[in-house]
Amino acid sequence: MKSPMPLGPLMIDIDSVELSAVDREVLKHPLVGGVILFSRNYDSIEQVSVLCDEIHRLRAEPLLLAVDHEGGRVQRFKEGFTPIPCMQMLGECYQEDKENALNYARQVAWLMAMELRQVGVDFSFAPVLDIDYACSDVIGDRAFSSDKKIVVELAEAFQQGLAEAGMASIGKHFPGHGAVAPDSHVAIPIDERSLEEILQDDVYPFRQLIQAGMKGIMPAHVIYQQVDEMPAGFSEFWLQTILRQQLGFQGAIFSDDLTMQGASVVGDIGQRAQQALKAGGDMALICNDRTAAEQVIDHLNGVEINTNSIERLKKMRPTTRLPEGSLQDSLKWQQCRKIIDGFN
């Protein structure tokens, strides 16, 4: 009996609320290991549950299913889902009542994770560990705080809530996107600070969360000019020397979307994927461009899949079984919902 096809190093997306014949064919390719969902893939809880189940059933080793569902302005599924507050609101609450804020962070994360797991999503790309330097609109209220120690306390509580729901946490955007104004979706941000300053400030939350058991990390498409000419997600220095060796991170590294402008300095889409994996990434994301995804598959065809990456990616799956019955009927969901309603 053949063993299941292992998870490949690419995460791609689909166009609609259901799988097309072409989607099924592409998702069965051995280089594909995951699917990221967007708002266009969501119509209702019932629909997305069927979609997630169908994606998971495509292969004997189910593909990983992810979504950007941080809260605030970054929440892909809305109708039928609890509106999650932006993380800045938790930071503001911390200033008034630290213990309540930490409890809220844990409860918000638990509810977010359980609602996603209920429909079949394996993990969300959260929490944001960037520091809010009040200069980056793309980060802004997605960050917990301008104080690195508050970021750590709230993010640790958030991570605990995810873990209680059986969901892995993924910190972003390593080593920190908050100190540059340009948006890496449409520009090539350059951070001129020294390595020492970045390690002391922006890397601090990542270091603490890694020690607390963080399972995944997403690097920034930012060039830290005094450190390396490559954006962090393509830099062996950042991913190997700093993240793996100095910080001792043993979890999975996910690239940010390779179609973003911040990745363009590396070359064409195939070169970007190749360099992201060569630098030490475990999974490369290609979003909102099926042609680009197919070009990457062609570019990497025949490349041997890293067995260490396969094992790290397997650990991103939920660690607990979902309870029987409706989540919304549970006392804990109702208590968490009351907390969140207080923010909205």
Summarize pLDDT for 80-113 with one digit per residue, the tens: 999 999 999 999 999 999 999 999 999 999 999 9
Task: Give the pLDDT of residue 3.
Answer: 66
pLDDT band at 182 (very low <50, low <70, confident <90, very high): confident
pLDDT in the model for residue 303: 83
Average pLDDT estimate for 51-60: 97
Q: How confident is the model at residue 344 (pLDDT cuts 50, 70, 90)?
A: confident
**pLDDT tens string 290-341:** 999 999 999 998 888 889 999 999 999 999 999 888 899 999 999 999 999 9
Inform me whether the pLDDT recorded for 140 exceeds 60.
yes
Task: Catalytic residue, from 185, 268, 298, 341: name it.
Answer: 185
Catalytic residue check, 56: no
Report the C-alpha gap between 147 and 326 in whole angstroms: 39
Question: What average pLDDT does this structure show over 230-247?
Answer: 98
Work out the pLDDT band at 206, boundaries 50, 70, 90: very high
Catalytic residue (one of 122, 132, 141, 256):
256
> In whole angstroms, what is the distance from residue 326 CA to residue 262 CA?
42
Pseudo-torsion of CA 53, 308, 318, 73, nearest 10°?
-80
> What is the model's pLDDT at position 88?
97
Is 202's pLDDT higher than 80? yes
173 catalytic per annotation: no
Percent of the chain with pLDDT over 90: 91
How remote is the C-alpha of 140 from its chain's centroid? 17
pLDDT at residue 1, as a whole number? 42
